[in-house]
Chain A
């Protein structure tokens, strides 16, 4: 523990000194590139056509840009359009849209001097991050599979043991206890969702290269996951589930001639995935934003006065570490909550006639959770 305190003290001291030095030495530089917190925050939270290299703000790992321009498919490296360069591929010109453009930061095609957004399926930073997560999750699970195939009943230890514990925890206490006899049908989807989200959350918290892409803090990612849960819920929904939506057991005037309850139920079908989307997105993005803002505080205060910057550094770093640790917890909790809510939504669509009371009970629970 003593050594830990020493390390923390040294790191804090270094961090206190460096912004002062930076502030005094880089005054001239600051004038041209004035600190713009909003821009930095959104750059970190958003997507990009290249992956930052640690400790170098200008070098980026180039990623392939794939666009369908007005004359067909174009694939080129993102390094060709970095720093506002125009890239001419055949007869078509591409560039990154400027700050004033409607398509800020996206690849645009210039046709007759006008900016057109092409159909863009580039391997951006986030897409690349997703691929990395897919590889990691698949690798981990296949590793566990290999171990099980090789060792049978022998319980794995250390890392694999933790992995198996997680699988067992989610499988037994979330999926099995909610879905009961339907477990085997939905468990693969739900477990995949859990580990995918969990790993995306953790990789988002990792600051340098393989991580650092704010995946679950991106609404497109959470939207896709929520849509998948929506599809699974409704495609595998039982007849009774659909009856509950279109002809629920309520007094007749609530459903005829004005279909008040059916309307509410149909609305409810769509609020569930919306809640899933926004919950995960907002939680993860919030965590990232807090850490970035805390870090930026150092530079904002350092610009005011070196002493204030030094003091802020210590506090900011401590808070950042605290927030990052909380975010690790939040990563797990959000993955868990997403999986649990998905499980509940799916199980609500699995109601049979005789389980009606139980189902409405679960509905109440779910409403309580959603609230």
Chain B
């Protein structure tokens, strides 16, 4: 059967042809083509990965933004509350400080008034006693000119002291 007996010439040329084809493609075509196929596959893989990452990051960023927003709102509320509290506190403090101050001023005024009163009383007393002594001196000068009257007075005074004891 001629179909099943390989012909030497054909085998020889087949080897040559395949070797030539292989060398041409191996030298010029395959490195470039396979590199391109590989790098494109890599590029696509990377692109997909990048897109997935980007999506994750976007989701993350969105969540973070929401978080920040909520945080900011809470902080705002806190701050408002704090400010409110501070306001009342300050008012309260001011009020109390004012009343303390007023109290102090009043106390001081009272003390001063008392002092002045005392002083006035003291002066008044001194003057009164001065006047009294003057009057008494004059009275005494007028009445004690007479020996009898003097004796009568001494006696009455003595009586008085006696009766007291």
Same assembly: yes
Contact between A148 and B33 (Cβ–Cβ < 8 Å)? yes
- Cβ of B25 within 8 Å of any chain A Cβ, yes or no, is yes
The interface residues of chain B lying within 8 Å CB-to-CB of A144 are: 29, 33
Given A121-B12, A149-B32, A285-B3, check contact A172 B26 (CB 8 Å).
Answer: no
- Give residues of chain B (109-164) contacting chain A, Cβ–Cβ below 8 Å: none
Judge if B22 is at the interface, Cβ distance under 8 Å: yes
* Dominant SS among interface residues on chain B: helix
B41 contacts A192, C-beta separation under 8 Å: no
Set of chain B residues within 8 Å of A133, measured between Cβ atoms? 17
Instruction: Judge if A123 is at the interface, Cβ distance under 8 Å.
Output: yes
Q: Are A188 and B10 in contact (CB under 8 A)?
A: no
Cβ contact within 8 Å between B13 and A123: yes
CA distance A325 to B37 in the complex (A): 30
Query: Which chain B positions have C-beta within 8 A of A149?
Result: 32
Q: Bin the interface of chain A by size.
A: 35 or more
Q: CB distance A188 to B9 under 8 Å? A: no
CB proximity to B under 8 Å, residues A27-49: 42, 45-47
Specify which chain A residues have a CB less than 8 angstroms from the CB of B40 in the assembled complex.
153, 155
- Residues from chain B with a CB closer than 8 A to the CB of A153 are 36, 39-40, 43
Q: Are B34 and A223 in contact (CB under 8 A)?
A: no
Q: Using a CB-CB cutoff of 8 Å, which residues 75-134 of chain B contact chain A?
A: none
Contact of B32 among A42, A148, A223 (CB under 8 A): A148
Most buried by A among B2, B5, B36, B41: B36
Q: Which of A124-132, A314-322, A330-338 contacts B (4 or more CB under 8 A)?
A: A124-132
A159 → chain B closest CB, angstroms: 15
Q: How far is the CA of A171 from the CA of B34 in the complex (A)?
A: 8
Chain B, Cβ-Cβ closest to A175: B34
Cβ-closest 4 pairs across A and B: A220-B6, A141-B29, A220-B10, A224-B14
Please give the residue numbers on chain A whose beta carbons come within 8 Å of chain B beta carbons, in ascending order.
Answer: 42, 45-47, 66, 104-105, 119-124, 126-127, 130-131, 133-134, 137-138, 141-142, 144-145, 148-149, 153, 155, 164, 167-168, 171-172, 184, 187-189, 191-192, 196, 218-221, 223-225, 228, 285
- Contact sample, A vs B, 17 pairs, CB 8 Å cutoff: A120-B7, A123-B13, A127-B14, A130-B13, A130-B17, A134-B21, A138-B29, A141-B25, A145-B32, A168-B37, A171-B34, A184-B34, A188-B30, A219-B5, A220-B6, A224-B18, A225-B14
